[in-house]
Structures are given as structure tokens and as C-alpha cells.
Amino acid sequence: MEITEILGFSGALCIGIVLGLIGGGGSILTVPVFVYLMYINPITATAYSLFVVGVSALVGTFTNLRKGLVDLRTALVFATPALIAVYIARKYLVPAIPNDLFTVQGFMITKNIGIMIFFSVIMVLASISMIKNNKNDIETKTEKVYNYPLILIEGFVVGILTGIVGAGGGFLIIPALVLLAKLPMKKAVATSLLIIAIKSLIGFIGDIQNLEIEWSFLLMFTAISVIGIFIGMFLSNYIEGKKLEKGFGWFVLIMGIYIIIKEIT
């Protein structure tokens, strides 16, 4: 096994640990690990990421269901348009993107480069959300009507973004659940995991029909991530995960900027 593969599987463990500690965010690193450490094509990497994210979120969901933290009604309203959108994105939208997008001063922006640049932009946005860490401010702004139309629209938009970049989109889902569905923060985080699990796994189904999946590798990587989740959940009894969120946010920001620079140079 090469050193990059060892680092890649170590990354899988770290992704799970971060998810277990802070309840989200770690999945944003899955695609970079696949692309830069495992040397997997970005399109395939986003597909694999959907599976890893979906299974990981599902594990967290089972734990939260036992604690009574998941709002099933809200999850159904949000997840329905999201899973439709992510399936459409993976089955039809991503395959329809041309291999050569456009040229900038003689530099050809290909489909793979475009996907990674778009993904890095999402990473930067996610990192800003984690660095600000204004969840307490968001939670006080719950004097809103349960707005079904806006929840449906945001569910569809998040589904499209998830389908393109292969990330869970929790940094978009959680504020929507708090502001539009009036959920307390803990319930919003727990409910978002169920939504992420559903739409990620449905999106992956769209990929099965378009890509050749290396199941042995993917299941091994996912299993290591799940082990990491349990380690993270154990460590959360001794470490305040939310205190780590800003630091992890800065790390994601640096990674996002690095990917942009790497892809355009």
C-alpha cells in the first residue's frame, strides 16, 4: 500500500471523527481525500463521497432517533424535493456537462477542473459558516411561520448542489430548518443528518447507472469513516466539539483556497 493510500484511509478515519465530534462538516473533506490522495477522478470522487456521506449521516441518524431529536415531518418536507433534485443532478445534469467548458487566456477549464473549483467555492462558504459559528444568534430568530414553499425551494437547491459537489450541505440545511421550520438547534442538526442521508444515498443511486463502482474500496473507506464517527462520539464526552468548529472551519477555508490555486495553476 502506497503512502498516499495510507494517508487517504487515515483521512477517512479523520472525516468520521470530525463528524462524530461536531456533528457535521467532516464530509466536506471527502472529495479532496479521494481526488488528491486516492487519485480518483473528480466525477467518481463526488459519487463516492455521496455514499460515504449518506452512510455516515445514517449512522448518526439512528443515534439521534433513539434520543428523540429527529423531526420526521420536517425531514420529509425538506428531503422530498432534495432527493428528486440530487437524483436529477447525478443522473442527468453532471453527465451532460461537456468535458471542455471554456478557455480563459489560453487555459482550458475542463469538466474535472470546473467541478473541483465549484467544490472549493462550496468549501469556502462552509468554512465561513463554521468560523462565524453564530448558531446561538440563529436560534433566537425563530419567530417565523413554518414556511413550506421556502423549505421546498431550499430543499431543491441544496439537492442540486449536493448532486454536483457530493457534499452533505449541512451548513445550508441547518439554518433553513431553524429559520423556516422553527426547530431548536439540536433538533435541526439531528434532522439535517436524516435529510443528508436520504438525498446523498438517492443521488448515489443515480451514479450506479452511470459509473463503474469499485465496491470493495468504497465499502472499506466507508467502514473506516463509520469507525471514526464512533470514536468522535466517544471523544465528544470529553471534548467540547463546538469549540473545535472554528478551528476546523479555518482548516477547511485553507483547503478550499489551496484547491482553487492548485486547479488553476
**Do 264 and 117 contact (CB within 8 A), yes or no?**
yes
Q: What does DSSP say about strands 107-110 and 100-104: parallel, antiparallel, or unpaired?
A: antiparallel
pLDDT of residue 126: 79
Where is 108: in which H helix or E strand?
strand 107-110
Which is higher by pLDDT, 26 or 204? 204
Give the Cα separation of 212 and 209 in Å (integer). 8
pLDDT in tens, 63-113: 889 888 889 988 988 889 988 998 888 888 888 989 998 888 788 889 888
pLDDT at 25 over 80: no
Q: What residues make up the domain containing 169? A: 3-264
**Do 200 and 51 contact (CB within 8 A), yes or no?**
yes
pLDDT of residue 40: 93
Computed over every residue of the chain, the mean pLDDT equals 83
pLDDT in tens, 215-258: 999 999 999 999 988 888 788 778 766 667 777 788 888 988 99
Other C-beta atoms closer than 10 Å to the C-beta of 73 total 10
**110: which strand partners?**
100
pLDDT in tens, 139-167: 444 444 567 788 888 888 888 888 887 77
Which of 35-49, 94-108, 193-207, 242-256 shows the lowest per-residue confidence on average (mean pLDDT)?
Answer: 242-256
pLDDT of residue 247: 79
User: Three-class SS of residue 101?
Assistant: strand
Give the Cα separation of 35 and 234 in Å (integer). 29
Report how many domains make up the chain.
1
Over range 258-262, report the average pLDDT.
89
**Do 161 and 88 contact (CB within 8 A), yes or no?**
no
The backbone torsions φ and ψ at residue 110, rounded to the nearest 5 degrees and listed phi first, read -90, 175
Give the Cα separation of 35 and 154 in Å (integer). 29
pLDDT of residue 142: 44
pLDDT of residue 137: 47
Q: How confident is the model at residue 134 (pLDDT cuts 50, 70, 90)?
A: low
Describe the crossing of helices 42-66 and 3-22 by its angle, rounded to 10 degrees: 30
C-alpha cell at position 81: 424535493
| Residue 74 Cα distances to 53, 86, 144, 176, 182, angstroms | 20, 18, 15, 11, 10
% of the chain exceeding 90 in pLDDT: 14
Over range 160-177, report the average pLDDT.
76
User: 107 CB contacts (<8 Å, ≥6 apart)?
Assistant: 264
Q: What angle (nearest 5°) sits at the alpha carbon of residue 191, between those of residues 186 and 195?
A: 150
